[in-house]
Amino acid sequence: MVGGGLAGALLAWRLREASDRLRVEVLAGARATVDASAVSGGLVRGFEPDPAASAVAADSLAELRADARLREWSGYREIGSLYLTPSGADPAESVRTVAERLPGSAVLVNATRLRRGFGFRGLREDAVGVVERHAGYLSPARLRDRALDWAAANEVEVARTSVIAVRDGPAVRTSDGAERRYDAVVVAAGAWTPPLVEHGGTLRTKQIQYGVYRIALPDMGAFVDDDTGLYGRPWSEGTFLLGLGGDRWDVAPEAVEPDQALAGRVLDVVRRRFGVTARDPVPERVVASFDCYRSPAGLRLLPVDGRPGVFTFTGGSGGAAKTAVAASRAAASELLNTL
């Protein structure tokens, strides 16, 4: 495994749990403190406008809620979630998908309920929201670290080694100049994946940014407003994590800089949407990071064309915290079928 972020860590854990005959190695690189998993907002819910994405997210959440070890590893907090769906979307199929996996969790709400119950302003009359009882947030960094600790305690070799090239064979060349051969190489290096594995140009990187603002949104748990692009969750007493979709594509992870204009726009949108102003217009902190995007979006194991035994496990597209538990289960089973 190349990469020990959330994706690589969970896949290593799944592989080891599925087979004790397999020798698994994680070459985790040296960037764990600055990767996407280290700073992710960790919002998790079952609903996504796309029913296929909803199935993976709801499977993940159902397994997480049912498994005391995963709850402890991830520090899951169940505070509920609201998703204001995009104009013209029909959320019914995704809501059914969630209901099959998390019975009684998701209900549809109309514009009146969104105004009265959540304080929304400026809504379309046909606005539809999905409220989920079983949703909230977790710590991707903690989940990643616990899975890697478990793997290391169960005969998975976890090394802070960086891979500088992925070769046919399959094999990898590491920063100390050594070449290591394997039956399969999975590149789960998040935003660092594209330069390691070309993959026909289907993988891109994108900056993701949020701020922590001194602001009170008393009726809100975790939320996404697909009309404005605003999302957030309570951060600590009196503060809220808030972000807006950005447009900085193909950024090199090392070149990411906070977009101060975007950080300011967040408060304009909150004022318009909820009629609320921050106690301090300057956020307590701005977190600017990145993720690997793929179209169609979603964390999946994919073979690399023309390179037998080489796979990628990335492409979470800003949302793998909510899908990684189920996606890693599927990826482990697909990989074991090829070995």
Ligand X SMILES: Cc1cc2nc3c(=O)[nH]c(=O)nc-3n(C[C@H](O)[C@H](O)[C@H](O)COP(=O)(O)OP(=O)(O)OC[C@H]3O[C@@H](n4cnc5c(N)ncnc54)[C@H](O)[C@@H]3O)c2cc1C
Closest CA to 135 of 50, 68, 61: 61
The residue (of 30 and 108) whose beta carbon lies closer to ligand X is 30
The residue (of 180 and 271) whose beta carbon lies closer to ligand X is 180
The residue (of 127 and 188) whose beta carbon lies closer to ligand X is 188
Q: Is 155 left (phi over 0), alpha (psi -120 to 50) or beta?
A: left
Question: Least distance to ligand X from the beta carbon of 246, Å?
Answer: 10
The residue (of 40 and 85) whose beta carbon lies closer to ligand X is 40
Q: Which residues bind ligand X (CB under 6 A)?
A: 2-8, 27-29, 31-32, 35-37, 39-43, 140, 162-163, 188-192, 196, 208, 210, 287, 289-291, 314, 316, 318-322
Could you write out the DSSP letters of every residue in 237-266?
TTEEEEEE----BS--GGG----HHHHHHH
Kindly give the interhelix angle for 51-66 and 92-101, rounded to the nearest 10 degrees.
20
Alpha-carbon gap, residue 98 to 134, rounded angstroms? 10
Which tokens go with 7? Answer: 């994706």
Contacts of 246 by beta carbon, 8 Å cutoff, 6+ apart: 206, 207, 208, 209, 259, 262
Alpha-carbon gap, residue 179 to 181, rounded angstroms? 7
The residue (of 57 and 123) whose beta carbon lies closer to ligand X is 57
The residue (of 91 and 319) whose beta carbon lies closer to ligand X is 319
Question: Least distance to ligand X from the beta carbon of 275, Å?
Answer: 25
Question: Least distance to ligand X from the beta carbon of 263, Å?
Answer: 13
| Residue for token pair 């594209």 | 194
Question: Least distance to ligand X from the beta carbon of 29, Å?
Answer: 2
Contact 186, 180 (CB under 8 A): no
Query: What are the Cα distances from residue 36, in Å, to 31, 115, 176, 299?
Result: 10, 34, 25, 13
Question: Least distance to ligand X from the beta carbon of 222, Å?
Answer: 8
Residue with the shortest CB distance to ligand X: 5
Question: Least distance to ligand X from the beta carbon of 163, Å?
Answer: 4
